[in-house]
Structure formats: C-alpha cells, structure tokens
Structure 1
Amino acid sequence: MADPDISEVHFEGLTGRIHASRRPAGSDGRSAPTFVLVHGIGTSHRYLHRLHRLLAETAETYSVELPGFGSMPKPDRRLSMADYAGFLRAALDQAGVGPCVLIGHSMGTQLAVEAARQEPGRFTQLVLMGPVVDSRRRTVARQAFDLAVDCLFFESPSSNLLVLADYFRCGPRWYLTELPVMMAYPTEERIAEVDAPVLFLRGSRDTVASRDWCRLLAGRAMSGEFREIPGSGHVVQHTASGQVAQAIRDFVASPGRALESPA
C-alpha cells in the first residue's frame, strides 16, 4: 500500500491533519465502505497506522490528526468534545468524505459519539475501540493506575514506544489541559442518542475499558454489539490489527449479526 496523502486542516483557528488512502486500485467503489480513524488523548495517527494500512487494502481509509496532538500546534484554549467533533466534520468536508464508518480509540470514541450526535446520518456505523471513561472508575488516579497496568503487562514494546513517544510530543501541558474534558464526558449517557449501529470492541486484557463497561454501553446504544479480541490490551488496534480489521469488516458487512465473543 502506498503511503497516505497528508493534508493540513484549518478550522476556527485550529490546525490538524488528515491522512488519506484513496480508493484502492481496481475498486469500483459501489460496495466498499469508507473508514475514518480517530486517535485518543496524548497520541496520534501513528498507533492507528497498522489498522489504517489493512483497512485501506479494500476501502478508502482516512486517519485524522487532532489539534494539539502529535506534531500539531497547541490551541490557545481548552477544546471541548464538541470542538473536536466540529474539527472532524471540517476535515471530512475538506477531504470530500461522504457517508462513512467512524472508528475511534479511547478518547477518540467520545469524539466519535459526539460527532454522530451532532450530525445524525453522516456516519453509517461507529466502531468504538477501548471506550472511555468507565463511570464506575471515573477518577484520574484510577484511570492512571489502569493504564499503567495495561502498559506494563498487556502491551507490546512497539505499542508502548509509540504511545510514550506521542505523549512526549503532546507534552504534559496540553495533555493535562484536555484530560478533564475526557474525564467529564458522559459516554454512557450520550451513546443512547446515537442512531447508527455501534460495535464496542476491546482487547480481552484491556484494564481501561472493562468487559462489563463495554457491555453496559452496548446495552444502552440503540443498536449495539460487543466483541473481544483475545489476549490483547487497550491498544488492540496495534497489537492485533489483523483481528480488529476483520472484526470491523464483519460488522460493517452484516450489522445486527451476533458478534459477541464467548465469555
């Protein structure tokens, strides 16, 4: 697969990027979906690269680099989830992306939910990987502990290297500026307002997005399904990218089909 085309996105004083892999050669475009990937807090498109590459083998695929993260300039104000959703819509408009499957990871799942609330009908399906923040563990101390356990015991060296390097690029000021936004967003309430089918996807060893939490969200969605990837932690899209890509394709091809992994 060729490297994605990269273009800057400017919206209301914010700057980000969109990485675009256009329709694969030989595709007629009539049945293949379009995928859009959104990263989580402190990170960037880089830990989505493996999944992006696999999805782009058969469909148009885009990864969004949010303002303030990766190498993007830091905004001069705190951004709300509504601000991020507005930026995402502007990025998709600039790239000429129509109806699409929106795929978020960690904080990116909150952004996906908010974008789907703001513009019903634009997103044909949502895939929420490692959704946050568990309402029963909504403290910074508990989230930090769960993330540390995940990094120490359930992630690969390459995923830890990518995430830690991106945390360094993001810097503590911007991370801590946006952390309260993530902690306060009521995913468990907002998900009920999303009219698109939703797949809740987690690694079976994910200490951040627990099985009970993901099942709770799936039960509150208008049309929710749950799937686990065995043996993976929170950064499942990097450590088990092939299984994640297949789970997404299966969900998109047959929404409503039972996908839940055995307990």
Structure 2
Amino acid sequence: MGDGDPLESIADAVDTAIDELTGGPTDDGDIERFTAAGMTLLAEARGAEDAAATFVLLHGIGMGRKVFADLARRLHPHGRVIAIDQPGYGEAPEPPRTPTIERSADLIGAYLRKIDRGPVVLIGHSMGTQVAAEVAVRHPATVSHLVLVAPTVDRHHRTAGAQLGRLAVDLLDESPKVLLLGAREYVRAGPHLGRKVRAMLTHRPEESYPRVAAPTLVVRGGRDRVSTREWCDEVTRAIPGALGVEIPGHGHETLIRDAGPAAEEILRFLG
C-alpha cells in the first residue's frame, strides 16, 4: 500500500493502541531486513551498539518480535538486544514456500554472521527453541550460550491436535495482555499458519539436542501444559551439561506475560 492509504493508517493506529495497552514500546528500535536463500527476516535492535553482549530472541509459532517487549526491556542494561520476526511472521514477508526449521536456522545463522557481533546469547521461545537449537548445532560459532524457554515439540505428543489442545487449556489461565498480543501476531502470521505448524511438527529436536555444544539453560513455567515437566527434564538431560529451571506460577507464555523471573534466571545463568 502506498503512503496515505486509509487502511494502512487504521492498521498502524490499532498496532500502536495494542502496544500502549500491553505496555510495549510504541516506537521502533533499529530495524533491519535481511534476505538469504529466498527468505527475509526482520530484526529490531535496541540497546547500546558497542555493548559486549548480544541477545537474539526467536519467537514461537504464530508470534513475532513484539511479544518480547518486556524481556527486551529487562535485558537492555546488559547488552544489545535483537528481536527477530522470522519469515512469514510479524512484519517479515511470507516466503514463496514455508521453510523447514533447519532452513530457518540457516537463515538465522547467516544473519548472525552478517552482523558480525561475535557469538550471541540465543534465546528461543516455544517453536523458537527448535530453531535456536538447530542454529547452535548447524552454526556453533555464532552461539555463545543457548536458552530454551518452553521447548517444543514434545516427542511423546507430536500431533497438531495434542499441541493445540494443550495450548488452548494453557491460555485459559492467561492474562488479557498475552491474549491480545497473541491475537495480533496470529493474524499477522496469515493464511499459511497450517503449513507452519506442519513444519514445526515435522522437525525432530530430540535428534539435535545431544549435539548442542553451547552452555544451555532450559526454562519452564510451572503451569505450562504444552511443555510439561517430564518433557523439559528430558530435553535438559539430552543436552550435554544443560541446566533446567522452573518458574512457579507461569504458563507456556512465561516470556510474554511477565518476563521478569525468566530474565533473572537468564542473567544468573550467564553469571
């Protein structure tokens, strides 16, 4: 749409209103688009450019970079924070075909080499943990530390019905903030969400976990019905030297509703 389009103006106004209602920033950070192998991601960076540490945030299925506003705010004092819209999510354009988790990881790896900030602290949430784990395995020089929050997909319940049913139950206890942010991002994910879910379910993260070399933290919300305690314990055991923590009173969207406890655990892990 061109400048001055009334529908675009309405969409921008709604977007700003949601940010205001949920406590997110109404201004953009430093925005960059990166394209490789026919896919485009959008990266939003905040914090000092000369910071020694770099945190890179990867969202889950149907989500986008803006759900990380609270976490990014808490991490800013400790380094440069880059939140990613993966291809076909948030404001990143839909690719010609839905990428596999492995192809998404290769795109992230190429972007990390391009920005040339050295190894990063890579933080994935939900489906983003699958991408993050593959980046750590396929592009190990780009990752100093790996953080997997609410890892999916539980190999014992690898069906769309099981995953969506558990998520629906989990969301019954969630705050209006999470529901409002989630609704916006799911609309943005567009008509190909079903194909994206299939790509998520096809991936086998348990085959990659034993090959992760980066120091790893696995974080679970104590009330998370999607990423159960049994599954997160299995993930932690599968990754050499990984640590596992549980945040009481939080569900699957622990990084979105109130990222404070998770941020504290991440910073404690980094020492």
Work out whether the TM-score is over 0.5.
yes
CA contact under 8 A between 1:18 and 1:91: conserved in structure 2? no
The equivalent position to 1:5 in structure 2, one of 30, 50, 70, is 30
**Paired residues for 1:1-263 under 5 Å:** 3-23=28-48, 29=51, 32-153=52-173, 155-171=174-190, 173-253=191-271
Q: Which residue in the other structure is 1:258 paired with?
A: none
CA contact under 8 A between 2:104 and 2:131: conserved in structure 1? yes
- State the TM-score, normalized to the length of structure 2: 0.86
Structure 1: which 5+ residue stretches go unaligned? 254-263
CA contact under 8 A between 2:109 and 2:142: conserved in structure 1? no
**Cα shift at 1:236:** 0.3
**Cα shift at 1:164:** 1.4
CA contact under 8 A between 1:99 and 1:123: conserved in structure 2? yes
**Cα shift at 1:105:** 0.3
Higher helix share: 2
The number of residue pairs the alignment matches comes to 246
- State, as a whole percentage, how many aligned pairs show the same letter: 37
Measure the CA separation in 2 of the matches of 1:93 and 1:121. 9
Measure the CA separation in 1 of the matches of 2:189 and 2:101. 18
**Cα shift at 1:78:** 2.2
Given residue 251 of structure 1, which amino acid in structure 2 is its aligned partner? F
Across the aligned residues of Structure 1 and Structure 2, the Cα RMSD in angstroms comes to 1.6
Measure the CA separation in 2 of the matches of 1:216 and 1:157. 32
Given residue 77 of structure 2, which amino acid in structure 1 is its aligned partner? E
Measure the CA separation in 2 of the matches of 1:128 and 1:107. 10
**Cα shift at 1:3:** 4.9
Measure the CA separation in 2 of the matches of 1:139 and 1:218. 22
Given residue 214 of structure 1, which amino acid in structure 2 is its aligned partner? C
Measure the CA separation in 2 of the matches of 1:47 and 1:9. 20
CA contact under 8 A between 2:70 and 2:256: conserved in structure 1? yes
CA contact under 8 A between 2:42 and 2:91: conserved in structure 1? no
Deviations 1:61-92 (Å, cap 9, x if unpaired)?
11111111112211111201121112112322
Deviations 1:210-247 (Å, cap 9, x if unpaired)?
11100111011111111111101111012231111110
- State the TM-score, normalized to the length of structure 1: 0.89
Structure 2: which 5+ residue stretches go unaligned? 1-24
SS at match of 1:121: helix
CA contact under 8 A between 1:200 and 1:225: conserved in structure 2? yes
Deviations 1:127-167 (Å, cap 9, x if unpaired)?
000000111111111111100001112x1110111111111
SS at match of 1:57: helix
